Structure 1
């Protein structure tokens, strides 16, 4: 079952020019005082920028400037011991900075806070409300299964009913996102939702009409321009297009050119020795190669290992039994072939016909087996 995450979705306002703009965040959380401190965390990593403010009678203030709106987290440490680690109680609140003045208020704690003066967060809340309603319906439908014994839950019929319930939930959630995009072309939340539902490797024929249906002002924001470039890359490698040619060296330093493999069906597989899902998929590729290589299948594995990881790359080839053609420019995540194919995450692959035309993308497991059976049996 494919489950869509229940995310906090962001809405970004329109900025045609990439210019810094000032913001203020004024807060009032009950009557909290020192030693409590509140932290504004710009990002999700421990290395993210952190601003600190003291709290006097529940009041605090943050000021700064941003290039465009961004997701942030407020962390309230009642002991004032830091945003991430240290003793004492902590509370968290996720929201989005945007230029202008944002007011955050709560009668008692950060977790009960509400925001005023922010179109970004107001519009985002509307979408979240629709998502929460769908979640409640799913929970009501699934509640009956909580009364079942572990043995009954394992019953095939029950499992199929549960799967069907989740499928309906996921379909409704996807439709909520899709409807929002179509009904709000002037809202930046539509761009963010589109990026979310399309994933790291957007299907160009499905995604492009939605993106180019957004208002020009949205598409010309920094985030919009970045996504436009991604889609242009996906267009060049969409099913039906001729595969862009490239050449990289094999482990012995000999160059291998993709176009030199024409006349065979070629699976171009993007992976790395450090990629756990990639390594888990390799046995399927080994079986496919052994079964169909004699019938005209070639595999070209393109590694995103870097120079420091060359030994690991070679060891993985040996351990996983990758007896086909392997190449890399040893530039890690900046691998030129991966960039040419707009690869933002691995594993990914493209399947080419004998002329070098892309006929399928991202086939793994049973999907790859089925496609190869269609071609060779």
Structure 2
């Protein structure tokens, strides 16, 4: 079951999934101002914002103190980009586009209830939000129903069948949401917001051929904009790690500092698992991966773990490896979300994995342990 928080992300990575990190070909810088007001009775102290910057992988963070519910944040951008803003201490949040000029964020209640105005991108983003509202509500209600049903599930119930049944229902609603993005792209080909909609169609397991077709359906002015130039480059990178492509070569150090190369595993089925010690969903999959590894480790199969831990978390990384009993090679450059292999493979959220064949071809992406077992059983039918 893929819950709302199924994929582990840092604050930055969360936004990177939701928003396009922007790129500019000409290096021009534009100023913007965000003026906001929320109900002072909500007693919020500070407001925080994150927005993308093509010259900085982790984007830009800024904040301001609220005075009687009012705040002002200004800055510069190289291209319009989707930002996320939240207040403290309640963490109420809202998304909007930072673009040149003045942006107004006004609410008579919480920040999440604010109306955003200012700029064409925000006007278009408002149209997309309106189109998404019914299916977003439907998805929320479906999740609520799922959790209620799970709470009422008897101890002797078939839990696997239960999860599969609800996953089908949730996937059906997610498909409805994806279709809304497609409708927006078709209706608004001249909007910069359509680039974000194209990426949303792809989700966590994008089909590069479909996304390329959708992107090429946009107006040339959008394709050739700084945001469009970046996304075109992102699609090129995505094609390098799609099913059927030859897995990009990498070398990274293991826990002892010894360099380990992807080429060392040529001739074997290799499961490349991106994770981190702090990622709960990643570690929840480890018991299942241990079972698969033990079952097929003598059948021309192995696993390589690549951690997105940081240098300051090295001890936690080593401790997690031991605690989870991971007997396969573990690699990391301890650069967090800037890990060179994860960047090469376009990893924006974890857990993330790639099954690579003996010839180096990517066979599957994002397999759960059970699905990996089923896949390997086809390659090794006589495994115990």
Q: Same fold (TM over 0.5)?
A: yes
Could you list the runs of 5+ residues in structure 2 that have no partner in the other structure? 6-14, 52-57
Hey, what's the Cα distance between the residues in 1 that align with 2:298 and 2:85? 59
1:360: how far off?
A: 1.2
2:55 alignment partner in structure 1: none
How many residue pairs align between the two structures?
Answer: 357
Q: Does 1:224 align with 2:228?
A: yes
**Does the alignment pair 1:237 with 2:241?**
yes
Q: 1:118 to 1:10 in 2, by over 3 A?
A: farther
Provide, for residues 126-175 of structure 1, a one-character-per-residue CA deviation record: whole Å limited to 9, x for no partner.
22222223456779999999x99x86999999999876664443322221
Do residues 293 (structure 1) and 297 (structure 2) align?
yes
Aligned partners of 1:168 and 1:18: how far apart in 2?
42
Q: Quote the offset at 1:124 in angstroms.
A: 2.0
1:130 maps to 2:131: yes
Q: Which residue matches 1:121?
A: 122
In the aligned structure 2, how far is the partner of 1:158 from the partner of 1:252? 43
2:29 is the counterpart of 1:20: yes
Alignment of 1:80-99 (within 5 A): 84-85=88-89, 95-99=96-100
Q: Which residue of the other structure, out of 39, 42, 63, is the alignment partner of 1:50?
A: 63
How many angstroms apart in 1 are the aligned matches of 2:188 and 2:309? 41
Partners of 1:91 and 1:110 within 8 A in 2: yes
Q: What does 1:361-372 align with in structure 2 at a 5 Å threshold? A: 361-372=365-376
Cα distance in 2 for residues equivalent to 1:21 and 1:213: 28
Is 2:361 aligned against 1:348? no
Any stretches of 5+ residues in structure 1 without a counterpart? 76-82
Normalising by structure 1, we get a TM-score of 0.72
CA 1:281–1:100: 2 relative to 1, 3 Å: same
**Contact 1:18–1:221 (Cα < 8 Å) also in 2:** no
- Which position in structure 2 is the counterpart of 1:68? 79
Maintained 8 Å contact 1:42/1:48: yes
Distance of aligned partners of 1:97 and 1:279 in 2 relative to their CA distance in 1, 3 Å threshold? closer
- Write out per-residue CA displacement over residues 51-84 of structure 1, whole angstroms, 9 at most, x where no aligned residue: 56878xx999877654333556788xxxxxxx63
Change (3 A) 1:114 1:295: closer
- The alignment yields a C-alpha RMSD, in angstroms, of 4.7
Equivalences for residues 146-161 of structure 1 within 5 A? none
Q: Give 3-state SS (helix, strand or coil) of 2:270's partner.
A: strand
Q: Secondary structure at the match of 2:88?
A: coil
After the TM superposition, which of the residue ranges 304-313 and 36-45 deviates more from structure 2? Answer: 36-45
Spell out the pairing of 1:247-326 with structure 2 (5 A cutoff): 247-326=251-330
For 1:169-248, what aligned pairs fall within 5 Å after superposition? 169-199=173-203, 202-248=206-252
CA distance in 1, matches of 2:313, 2:2: 33
Conserved 8 A contact 1:266-1:353: yes
CA contact (8 A) 2:270 2:302 kept: yes
